[in-house]
Amino acid sequence: MDYATLVGIDLGKQTFHVHGQDSKGKAVFRKKFGRKQLIEFLATCHSCTVVMEACAGSHFMARKLSSFGHEIKLISPQFVRPFVKSNKNDFVDAEAICEAASRPAMRFVTPKTESQQTLSVLHRVRESMVQDRTRTINQMHGFLLEFGVSLPAGKTGVPRLPEILDFHPLPPRLVAILKRLHEHFKYLQHQIGEIDRELALQLADDDAGQRLMGIPGTGPITASVLASEIGDGTQFRCGRDFAASVGLVPRQYSTGGKSNLLGISRRGDSHIRSLLVQCARAYMRFLDRRTGPLAEWARALASRRHSNVVACAVANKLARIAWAIIARHTSFNAGRTASPA
């Protein structure tokens, strides 16, 4: 380890495979550790560059190892895969991580802070509960339809379920099941409301989140997600890079000097992308009443393209505006893209 300048770690749940190499790229050691042993080993080593794939446990490990004085770099797994030689195993993966990190044009992922990770967990829990609520509503609708009873569409008709159960003669066991589902729906509704209130309180103390709320069509959920994912914005060179990271730019398949642009790439975080598209659709609802360069551009685009295309294009614009607000410490102004705060 005395001569290692670059260390690649293949992360696992219980075991970690480490590959170290010197400044010339020559392998110095290969070791296998448990979590505790790995931390103890790197805590006693001289400062070097430690590289890992960006995954669930990489952000905690990055914060822990950076406290020992090491330079931490995270790489997206898709950029490591081409450097895996021959047959795949954990030590070969660790070596491939070192090889990928040594490329001068490699792109790295910025490690998340504890607050960013905690906020991300909260959003994922909320998203899971929303999906569970939708699944519960669909089950109630489906079970009632099997017995010839229909509820009003969506979640608005669920509060009428006790009234419908009293009016229609249904099997007692089915009524018990539906009541249980109704209680589960009320529980999920309450928990989602609690999370929304918690997010609103966190957003009230976050200056960046408050400025993101100024973007048209953006609510507290989207603003808090963007604030946690963009961070300080320094990991993206420009707003277009952030839009590309969430898959809101066209895929490209060009060859022989001939450009061929396809649909949006749909890369990155699908949750952020869906929220931005929903914000774009909310913005487009009253497009005829809006003013400013963004509204004029959107109306011109809507006159010649399908509304779905316009929604994705507006979502791309909103993503770029969000990056500009965070990276340049500005606020949204309808007369311009962004103005000094």
pLDDT in tens, 302-320: 999 999 999 999 999 999 9
How confident is residue 95, by pLDDT bands cut at 50, 70 and 90? very high
How confident is residue 2, by pLDDT bands cut at 50, 70 and 90? low
Residues 6+ apart with CB under 8 A from 75: 51, 52, 53, 54, 97, 100, 101, 106, 107, 108, 109
**pLDDT score of 201:** 85
Q: How far apart are CA 294 and CA 298, in angstroms?
A: 6
Query: Who has greater pLDDT, 9 or 263?
Result: 9
- The least confident of 37-41, 118-122, 257-261, 324-328 is 257-261
Other CB atoms within 10 Å distance of the CB of residue 319: 28
Q: How far apart are CA 134 and CA 138, in angstroms?
A: 6
Q: How far apart are CA 125 and CA 122, in angstroms?
A: 5
**pLDDT score of 88:** 86
pLDDT in tens, 191-246: 999 999 988 888 888 888 888 888 888 888 898 888 888 877 888 888 888 888 88
**pLDDT score of 340:** 41
CA dihedral sign of residues 184, 190, 196, 199: negative
